[in-house]
Structure 1
Amino acid sequence: MEGKVSDTATLTPEQRVLPSWTEPLAIAGSASLGGPLGRHAAIGRHWFWTPLRVALLLAVVALAIGWFGKAACAQQFFNEESEQLELDWRSNRPFAAMCYSDIIPLYSAERLDQGGFPYQTSWVDDEGKPTAHTRYMEYPVLTGLFQWVNAKLTEGWLTIADAGWLPTGLPVTIFFDISAFWLALAWLATIWAVTRTAGRRPWDAALIAASPLVMVHAFTNFDTLATACAAAAILAWSRRRPGIAGVLIGIGAAAKLYPFFLLGPLLVLCLRAGRMREWRHTTLAALGTWGLVNLPILLAFPRGWWEFFHRNSLRGADPDSLYNVVQQFTGWAGFDGQVPFGESPFWLNLVSAGLFLACCAGIAFVALHAPTRPRLAQLGFLVVAAFLLTNKVWSPQYSLWLVPLAVLAVPRWRLLLAWMTVDALVWFPRMAFYLGEDNKGLPDDWFLSFVVLRDLAVVALCALVIYEIYHPARDLVRRGGYDDPHGGVLDGAEDRVTIGRRRAGQRAGRNDGDDRPAPSGAGSSSGSVDLDTRNT
């Protein structure tokens, strides 16, 4: 089919998008390297330096910067009073050095240092106080097992180190380094999947590789496990492997629930294209895989398995959430006021869930109403962004979820780099806020102002994505007569279900002055069901 590209290896020089010709940021950056690529240059023929390998190299550099940024919190010192090595978190080091990582305190907080199996092991927080309560591992199953395996690897490392074969250190430091190694591999896998998915735009993956967000948050928590699965699922879908895509979504959701959000965009797009069979295969594979991963833990340790959902229901408005911003700037007490210990904020949970569902309904309307069927990455970005904006919790590392989707949805380098920089910079006032004004930190107004800027940047990207959905000629991915290179069975499919009468003659990816025909079926209303008219 004309305009369809499935693999960068099959691209001709005319098909591949060259950033030094088309992207203003790359054009400006190439000036110090001799200028844009020559028109008679041999493209795609270098024996080693492919776009993927360049992106992976950039990622290794960015991940190294990220590791060094967290390494200050993994330092140890010899305590003369106890006469043993201890983790050096003196003088508020995690916040003063801005190196905080959840991985380090979780090693002891989740009792991984005691060798117990997560979800089976329990403990009492605030023992002896009125707020005493029983706790279990609070992460989804795959993330909890990931931590447990790394704790076992830490024990093995220390055993070998005692024999003099490996360098030694505090168990928590070794645990952090082992975890960081696997998380770095997961981010490299994310870049690999996006590069393979991007088709004729492989250089866009460089934005993921060199993202300021990965330098700050790759090792803040365990989220790169889910981004790798989600990106690989989109790759599998683009290669017309809905079952494999579903399996990867299920695995990713067992680490963090957000990969499940991809099923929503797939539902409305498959409904519009009349490809519900593929959506059912993907959804059943996703739910089945998630169930297979979770069922053994659920049956063996039901209370421990439920802890993740229980703890999330109890959480109030996170400092990074819009609800907290409104509360702090207005003095509003919140939807539930002061919630007693151990009770869930009922109205906050209800409102945040309701707003997200309302946003999803709006996105579904856009997907069915737009004159040209949106691309999968566009809707995926909108849904995940809507969740983060409306959710009561936006942990800073959650922004990593958006990076691969943003690069596939709206590959405008300057805009994406500006957003990622603003989002990454939120970390610094956040750490200064936690440091406290008494310790020369920043007042909360500074931190909250950066949160608002971050949210406005994400909203602006969402508005741009919606604009390009309704004006596909402005969509960089569609230029040249392409429909949805990432859409798999959706690419070039005819519409079956739409809302509203579509403009006659609308073509997917058609640019002003572009006389190439659109892909077969793209933008055609042939066979579509107009839900907004009474025509038979």
Structure 2
Amino acid sequence: MPGEREPDDAADGAAEVSDTATLRPADRVIPTWTEPLARAGSAPIGGPLGAHAAIGRHWFWTPLRVALLIAVIALTIGWFGKAACVQQYYNEETKQLELDWRSNRPFTAMCYSDIVPLYSAEQLDKGGFPYRTSWYDDAGKPTEHQRWMEYPVLTGLFQWVNAKLTDGWLRVAESGWLPTGLAVTVFFDISAFWLALAWLVTIWAVTRTARRRPWDAVLVAASPLVMVHAFTNFDTLATACAATALLAWARKRPLLAGVLLGIGGAVKLYPLFLLGALLVLCVRAGRMRAFTTTVLAALVTWAVVNLPIALLYPRGWWEFFHRNSLRGADPDSLYNVVAQFTGWQGFDGPLAFGETPTVLNIVTAALFLLCCAGVAFIALHAPTRPRVAQLAFLVVAAFLVTNKVWSPQYSLWLVPLAVLAIPRWRLLLAWMTVDALVWAPRMMFYLGDDKKGLPIDWFLSFVVLRDLVVLGLCALVIHEIYHPARDLVRAAGDDDPAGGVLDGAPDRVVMKGRRRRTEEEVPEPA
């Protein structure tokens, strides 16, 4: 396989390497030597890297560029997977072009994307400003209710900007300079472009953070979850923020890390969960100054983004929180699995329209906090301080498993964290394949029994399988935390590539009763 000529950042403590330098095999992990999957996949291009190969001398094909190329291919497959839902046809009755959603195409073609219906559902086609504009759903029905933009501020503004770009595109297209079509189709394509770019940024950040293991980013690039869900919603924006924040932290730039986490929190809530992992690790290492800088930067950035909207349009800004509090257990949640298989009525019992599932909200929050307490215990009790990516993966996975909503695209959150936490290629690809396959029974279930769809049991069975696999990954991460010699990242000679100020730092606060380190438990540093 081609080598890499790009140097590790000097801020990480690694020696700089010139463009013409030859790296030793010990300078990075060679996947065709260590991963059976990579070894087999290298056969069409000459097989595993030779023992005397000059690593880092190729003029173009670096691990990053290979990963980006694979990602472009995967994203292209993902776009074609959604393209069936933006096809047009001429309706003879209405005498106009319309989306071809006849015969339940979004479900039969499995091309459904939230981006398409949101263009009209969020009134983006009307040109109004999000959070200021309101409308009524179910007008004239007993369930009539007032609505505003339901997404966090930056995600809402992202949609609004894309809607404005759509208007501009269509105006230019009228002169014949650009291809044209339905506004919603143009809106989807413009949104897909930026979402694809965000995923490429995610891959870039993972490659830089992995240090000795840059080839692991290929797993992020070729993930089946990307092919299915990169354009299902707007979640790649959040993964880009979280991944670049981890990179900034790894480069000992806590202020920048906090800014990126604050921006990520204004896109989706989950990037802010990473602060919990950093907190307990900084407590253990006595690096609270760096953490304080990061958390203050994150909070100030989040406030700077949100306050103008919150002050000008308080009710519209609050809609995201309001609607999430009203949501019941989604089909993808374990609570719904238990309810469907047992006939259980839920923690709150039957609810009227618009009634808040108060007990469910309390239970999900309590379970998540309990899991976070467990992660904190592991962080302070383990014989060797866990790596940042390991704890971040555990925290985000705990949120998804205990939450009342696990929208299918949320699984993208775990991909970069899993690759940095447990870079075991076959295992991670198996998980991502199982998770991506949940989409098929989900679409067939939504099609309905009357249209020859699948019964709900098939869908719920895949949900349970996915959750069990994720819990299995969590168990493996915990096992490797307590047995660091089995951690592939530490076995390569690194302490914590994403650790920043934590990398190689001595422990200051450790829970009593932990087992003492032994030479067998901690690999020798390179």
State the TM-score, normalizing by the size of structure 1: 0.94
- Residues of 1 paired with 2:230 and 2:169: CA distance? 23
Note the C-alpha offset of 1:28.
2.1
Q: Does 1:351 align with 2:363?
A: yes
Overall identity of the aligned pairs, in %: 77
Q: 1:241 aligns with which of 243, 253, 256?
A: 253
Matched position secondary structure for 2:68: helix
Q: Does 1:193 align with 2:205?
A: yes
- Residues of 1 paired with 2:508 and 2:110: CA distance? 52
- Residues of 2 paired with 1:82 and 1:6: CA distance? 68
Is the CA contact (8 Å cut-off) linking 2:27 and 2:212 kept in structure 1? yes
Q: Give the alignment of 1:246-325 within 5 angstroms.
A: 246-325=258-337
Is the CA contact (8 Å cut-off) linking 1:372 and 1:506 kept in structure 2? no
Structure 1 residue aligned with 2:449: 437
Structure 2 residue aligned with 1:447: 459
Distance change in 2, residues 1:416/1:299 (3 Å): same
Note the C-alpha offset of 1:24.
1.6
Q: Give the alignment of 1:412-427 within 5 angstroms.
A: 412-427=424-439
- Residues of 1 paired with 2:231 and 2:17: CA distance? 31
Is the CA contact (8 Å cut-off) linking 1:21 and 1:27 kept in structure 2? yes
Structure 2 residue aligned with 1:534: none
Q: 1:363 aligns with which of 349, 357, 375?
A: 375
Q: Does 1:94 align with 2:87?
A: no
Matched position secondary structure for 1:270: helix
Structure 2 residue aligned with 1:529: none
Is the CA contact (8 Å cut-off) linking 1:6 and 1:485 kept in structure 2? no
Note the C-alpha offset of 1:509.
7.1
Q: Give the alignment of 1:210-221 within 5 angstroms.
A: 210-221=222-233
Structure 1 residue aligned with 2:82: 70
**TM-superposition CA deviations, 1:23-49 (whole Å, max 9, x none):** 121122223433211001111110100
Alignment-mate amino acid for residue 141 of structure 2: K
CA RMSD of aligned residues (A): 1.5
**TM-superposition CA deviations, 1:459-514 (whole Å, max 9, x none):** 00000000000000000000144211110000011101111234444369734xxx
- Residues of 1 paired with 2:15 and 2:145: CA distance? 54
- Residues of 1 paired with 2:219 and 2:257: CA distance? 24
Structure 2 residue aligned with 1:337: 349
Structure 2 residue aligned with 1:13: 25
Alignment-mate amino acid for residue 212 of structure 2: R
State the TM-score, normalizing by the size of structure 2: 0.95
Is the CA contact (8 Å cut-off) linking 2:383 and 2:516 kept in structure 1? no
Is the CA contact (8 Å cut-off) linking 1:103 and 1:221 kept in structure 2? yes
Q: 2:400 aligns with which of 388, 403, 409?
A: 388
Alignment-mate amino acid for residue 248 of structure 1: L
Structure 2 residue aligned with 1:523: none
Is the CA contact (8 Å cut-off) linking 1:58 and 1:206 kept in structure 2? yes
Distance change in 2, residues 1:227/1:491 (3 Å): same
**TM-superposition CA deviations, 1:326-372 (whole Å, max 9, x none):** 00011111101111111110111010000000000000000000000
Q: Does 1:403 align with 2:425?
A: no
Q: Give the alignment of 1:472-511 within 5 angstroms.
A: 472-506=484-518, 510-511=522-523
- Residues of 2 paired with 1:127 and 1:387: CA distance? 35
Q: How many residues are paired up? A: 513
Distance change in 2, residues 1:508/1:395 (3 Å): farther
Is the CA contact (8 Å cut-off) linking 1:274 and 1:497 kept in structure 2? yes
Q: Which runs of 5+ in 2 are unaligned?
A: 1-9
Alignment-mate amino acid for residue 207 of structure 1: L
**TM-superposition CA deviations, 1:251-306 (whole Å, max 9, x none):** 01100000000000000000000000111000000000000000100010000000
Q: Which runs of 5+ in 1 are unaligned?
A: 520-536
Is the CA contact (8 Å cut-off) linking 1:7 and 1:196 kept in structure 2? no
Structure 2 residue aligned with 1:172: 184
Note the C-alpha offset of 1:84.
0.6
- Residues of 2 paired with 1:5 and 1:409: CA distance? 21
- Residues of 2 paired with 1:36 and 1:184: CA distance? 31
Structure 2 residue aligned with 1:28: 40
**TM-superposition CA deviations, 1:374-424 (whole Å, max 9, x none):** 000000000000000000000000000000000000000000000000000
Distance change in 2, residues 1:507/1:185 (3 Å): farther
Is the CA contact (8 Å cut-off) linking 1:183 and 1:219 kept in structure 2? yes
Q: Give the alignment of 1:147-166 within 5 angstroms.
A: 147-166=159-178
Q: Does 1:328 align with 2:344?
A: no
- Residues of 2 paired with 1:135 and 1:508: CA distance? 60
- Residues of 2 paired with 1:327 and 1:187: CA distance? 36
